[in-house]
């Protein structure tokens, strides 16, 4: 996909991964966002993701770093999450403030990496943005059954298969694959988006409750009747959500 003419695009490699950096042209940026794309851990980054990346880069005046992480069957959570955390640390070493963001499966990776940064690197991020994140690989929330009846996109059975493969040898409640199972105290601020016609919505609500109880600053945006990753969609509600994302990331 050809990106807009008002951004620059650089690409390098780290641990064999292509790492893209998208930044506003002719701008001195002092902040970085590491963005993890979704796709159920099996699908490549697509045009919707690149449009969001470009929108964030130009709107928030930040460099957006996009790691093309290995998908199933070539990568698992145990492989990918620590590498993402290390990528954040390396970008921090340049003196830039760094936030994490991700959608769907990428939201799982982003939150799991934020937890690993807190625990292993003593790093508290200024903001983590989660768009319809996958939060519990077990999909055991009993409310998922009723939501699935209204979700025209995601199916619990299929997502469970992908999630089990992504889990690999980890136990189901390991925070590297199920961040909802983690102790959340000490995390930096979270911004979360979810639509009610999304089987991942019950876990998003559970995250809000758990984060609030743990004293985490969580900024939750739920839209009734909307689908999975609605902030990526070319609809009024998607545009409004993207404006919020830009505002939150510009503030840090």
Residues labelled as active-site residues:
104
Q: How many CB atoms lie within 10 A of CB 198?
A: 27
Q: How many CB atoms lie within 10 A of CB 9?
A: 17
> 112 CB contacts (<8 Å, ≥6 apart)?
77, 81, 175, 176, 177, 179
CA 31/CA 215 separation, integer angstroms: 26
3-state secondary structure of 208: helix
DSSP string, 65-106: EEE-PPPTTT--HHHHHHHHHHHHHHHHTTT-EEEEEEETHH
Number of H helices, E strands in the chain: 7, 8
């Amino acid at each position: 996909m050809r990106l807009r003419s008002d951004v620059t695009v650089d690409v390098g490699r780290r641990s064999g991964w292509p790492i893209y950096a998208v930044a506003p042209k002719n701008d001195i940026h002092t902040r970085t966002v590491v963005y993890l794309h979704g796709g159920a851990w099996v699908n490549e980054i697509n045009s919707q993701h690149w449009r969001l990346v470009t929108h964030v880069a130009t709107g928030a005046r930040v460099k957006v770093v996009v790691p093309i992480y290995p998908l199933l069957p070539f990568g698992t959570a145990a492989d990918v999450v620590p590498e993402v955390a290390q990528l954040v640390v390396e970008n921090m070493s340049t003196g830039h403030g760094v936030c994490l963001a991700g959608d769907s499966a990428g939201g799982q990776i982003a939150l799991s990496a934020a937890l690993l940064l807190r625990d292993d690197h003593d790093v508290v991020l200024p903001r983590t943005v989660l768009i319809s994140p996958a939060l519990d690989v077990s999909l055991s929330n009993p409310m998922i059954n009723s939501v699935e009846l209204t979700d025209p996109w995601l199916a619990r059975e299929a997502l469970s298969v992908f999630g089990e493969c992504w889990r690999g040898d980890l136990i189901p409640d390991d925070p590297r694959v199920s961040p909802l199972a983690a102790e959340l105290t000490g995390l930096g601020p979270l911004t979360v988006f979810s639509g009610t016609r999304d089987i991942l919505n019950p876990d998003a609500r559970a995250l809000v409750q758990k984060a609030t109880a743990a004293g985490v600053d969580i900024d939750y945006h739920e839209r009734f009747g909307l689908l999975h990753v609605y902030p990526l969609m070319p609809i009024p509600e998607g545009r409004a959500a993207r404006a919020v994302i830009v505002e939150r990331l510009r503030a840090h």
